[in-house]
Amino acid sequence: MTAVISLRDVRYTVGNSDLVRNVSFDVQSGETIVLLGRSGSGKTTTLRLINHLLAPTSGDVSVHGKTTREWDPIQLRRSIGYVIQEAGLFPHYTVRQNVGLVPSLERWDRTRIDARVEEVLALVGLDPARFSGRYPRELSGGQRQRVGVARALCADPPVLLLDEPFGALDPLTRSEIQNEFRSLQQRLAKTLVFVTHDIAEAYLFGSRIGLMKNGRLLLLATKEEFSSSQDPDVVSFLQPVREQMAMLSRI
């Protein structure tokens, strides 16, 4: 089976520093890979290599069996949904215009765009009649993030890349959107690469979990394998959560 996404010995260097080095993994159709790690570990750089916002210094990144060097970069990015923290919405566009951006660039007809925008807004829990004419400044943080997810889904891409998509939200809103996104994930069966530093989020969404450190992928494993790993870096990364759970159990 050909992987939807494949990285082979990928290295990305700026100056004398390797931001990513010797990273290799495959993502199969419908799978969710979650990349964990501290800030500066190479998670976001890896994500940007997948949609060719960055080009590898060496090694190969392939999407749908074709290396990113062979893809037209614009077409590649339009074929991949991309969700970032704080949604990255255009402030001078309405919700409808933000969500329908990629279909507009792909020259869908207006009736089809309008129907799809309404469909994906409803999918993420926003009433199209209430929200489609609003501007980002008129939305709460949680609503803006929902719009960002809707925009990523609008052209129905088979692949989604998510970079700390819920990290800026307050805990209650974050929990609500995580649960709704988990439901969407199960229903839509997209192929996802999800970057976070939140271990609970990794276990909620991940088919497999990877830990990155200093640009290297130390381990990529199922949740069960990750939890039982004796790798010192994995143990260290999980320790604060285990201590927190132990403390809560004593309350």
Q: Where does CATH 3.40.50.300 sit in the chain?
A: 1-79+158-251
Q: For the packed helices 110-123 and 141-153, what is the interaxial angle rounded to 10 degrees?
A: 130
CA–CA separation, 208 and 211 (whole Å): 10
CA–CA separation, 45 and 20 (whole Å): 7
**Quick count: other Cβ atoms within 10 Å of Cβ 202?**
23
CA 69 to chain centre: 22
CA–CA separation, 163 and 5 (whole Å): 16
pLDDT tens track for 44-87:
999 999 999 999 999 999 999 999 999 999 999 989 999 887 66
Percent of the chain with pLDDT over 90: 61
pLDDT tens track for 135-181:
999 998 888 888 988 998 899 899 999 998 887 677 777 788 888 88
- Options 3.30.590.10, 3.40.50.300, 3.90.1150.10, 3.10.129.10; which CATH number does 1-79+158-251 get? 3.40.50.300
More confident: 240 or 227: 227
Q: Find the angle CA(110)-CA(114)-CA(115) to the nearest 5 degrees.
A: 120
| In the predicted structure, residue 249 carries a pLDDT above the cut 60 | no
Q: How many Å is the Cα radius of gyration of the chain?
A: 19
